[in-house]
Amino acid sequence: MTETPTGSTNATQDHFVASGTRAYGGVLPGRHILSVDVEDYFQVEAFADLVSRESWDQWPTRVEQNTMRLLDLFDEADTKATFFVLGWVAAKVPSLVREITRRGHELACHSYWHRCIYGLTPEEFRRDTRLAKTVLEQASGVAIRGYRAPSWSITVRSLWALDILGEEGFEYDSSIYPIHHDIYGLPGARRVPYAHRLNGNRRLQEFPPATVRLMGLTLPAAGGGYLRLLPYAYTAWAIRRMEAEEGQQVVVYLHPWEIDPEQPRIAGRVRSRFRHYTNLHSMEHKVRKLLQLRRFQSFQQMLASAAYSRAGADGRRDQQETNSTTAAVAAHARVSQ
């Protein structure tokens, strides 16, 4: 793989370190991170070739009722989360984003059109991101600080997006999945929170979704399809293992459509149907168990915590120590793609 990212970023050079590095000094401020990518069942990448974005308006929407069920579930567990909401959803149902913030959760950005970033030009990405952020902020009246890419699509082909996120005012990102996967992932990237150093002396915090190391492999373990498709015991084991080995927060994610077995079926490819429809009926129960297993919080709550600030200082020292190895690991990540 000889392709290098386009754009002006220097983010490729200095922000990946070997798996297992304790970027924040091993301090665990008490709670893991719970996040929700708010999109409707017909807006997912698995069916993007069958459902045009122009047709989204014609599909029966279920995102509001499903997100409300998640909000009730989180209330029952006295848990706050970060909701990365699609700009299109915020424009369609602005009352939903107001309800999310009214209940004390953090609102963040999941793009406007749910297009994979590596398929966009930097200017297209900037326009999409700016539109989504504006719509979310106007609907909610709160400033948006966090970003999660559609389908984890910040990969070795789209690292230029990090500079644009910094320029557009984002403070953190949670889009780089350090695994091998057919449509996303950046193998060899760091598995624990770290900071990108961007052009213009900007910093952007990165919070990778949870993974676990097993027999030399990095396996995904962050909820979503992995919580839904695999036995619950796998996720519980992975969380305990990450706590013991990394001493870090586990970043968990899910989607409102994943707790909705009644959603209309789309006749996609066998693999897409398997990934999207398997175990929808049992997901809500698994989420309840997960919320009982550990305490969770939003990114905003974690960033505001005193323990995190102290740990961040340790992490910056760690990062300085590890910078000499980062370029090599970034190169490894590129050739592994």
Q: Which residues make up the interface to Zn ion (CB under 5 A)? A: 37, 39, 150
- Pick between residue 37 and residue 40 the one whose CB is nearest to Zn ion: 37
The half-sphere exposure of 17 on its side-chain side, counting CA atoms within 13 A, is 21
Place of tokens 């700016």: 130
Query: What's the min distance (Å) between Cβ of 133 and Zn ion?
Result: 16
- Pick between residue 106 and residue 246 the one whose CB is nearest to Zn ion: 106
- Pick between residue 150 and residue 185 the one whose CB is nearest to Zn ion: 150
Query: What's the min distance (Å) between Cβ of 216 and Zn ion?
Result: 30
Query: Residues 14, 18, 20, 25: is their CA dihedral positive or negative?
Result: negative
What distance in Å separates the CA atoms of residue 57 and residue 88, rounded to the nearest whole number?
10
Place of tokens 């340790």: 314
What distance in Å separates the CA atoms of residue 239 and residue 116, rounded to the nearest whole number?
28
What distance in Å separates the CA atoms of residue 315 and residue 13, rounded to the nearest whole number?
18
- Pick between residue 150 and residue 209 the one whose CB is nearest to Zn ion: 150
The half-sphere exposure of 280 on its side-chain side, counting CA atoms within 13 A, is 18
What distance in Å separates the CA atoms of residue 44 and residue 330, rounded to the nearest whole number?
29
Query: What's the min distance (Å) between Cβ of 57 and Zn ion?
Result: 18
Query: What's the min distance (Å) between Cβ of 210 and Zn ion?
Result: 17
- Amino acid at position 137, single letter: E
- Which residues are bridge partners to 97 per DSSP? none
Tokens representing 68? 């409300």
- Pick between residue 224 and residue 315 the one whose CB is nearest to Zn ion: 224
- Amino acid at position 178, single letter: P
- Pick between residue 150 and residue 193 the one whose CB is nearest to Zn ion: 150
Helix (H) or strand (E) holding 211: strand 211-214
Query: What's the min distance (Å) between Cβ of 42 and Zn ion?
Result: 12
- Pick between residue 150 and residue 166 the one whose CB is nearest to Zn ion: 150
Q: Which residue is nearest to Zn ion (CB)?
A: 37
- Pick between residue 16 and residue 152 the one whose CB is nearest to Zn ion: 152
Query: What's the min distance (Å) between Cβ of 103 and Zn ion?
Result: 21
Q: Could you give the C-alpha distances from 161 to 157, 187, 320, 322, in angstroms and in order?
A: 9, 18, 23, 23
Query: What's the min distance (Å) between Cβ of 44 and Zn ion?
Result: 7
Ranges of beta strands (E only) in 32-89 are 32-38, 82-85
Q: Could you give the C-alpha distances from 69 to 90, 255, 258, in angstroms and in order?
A: 17, 11, 11
Query: What's the min distance (Å) between Cβ of 116 and Zn ion?
Result: 10
What distance in Å separates the CA atoms of residue 112 and residue 261, rounded to the nearest whole number?
25
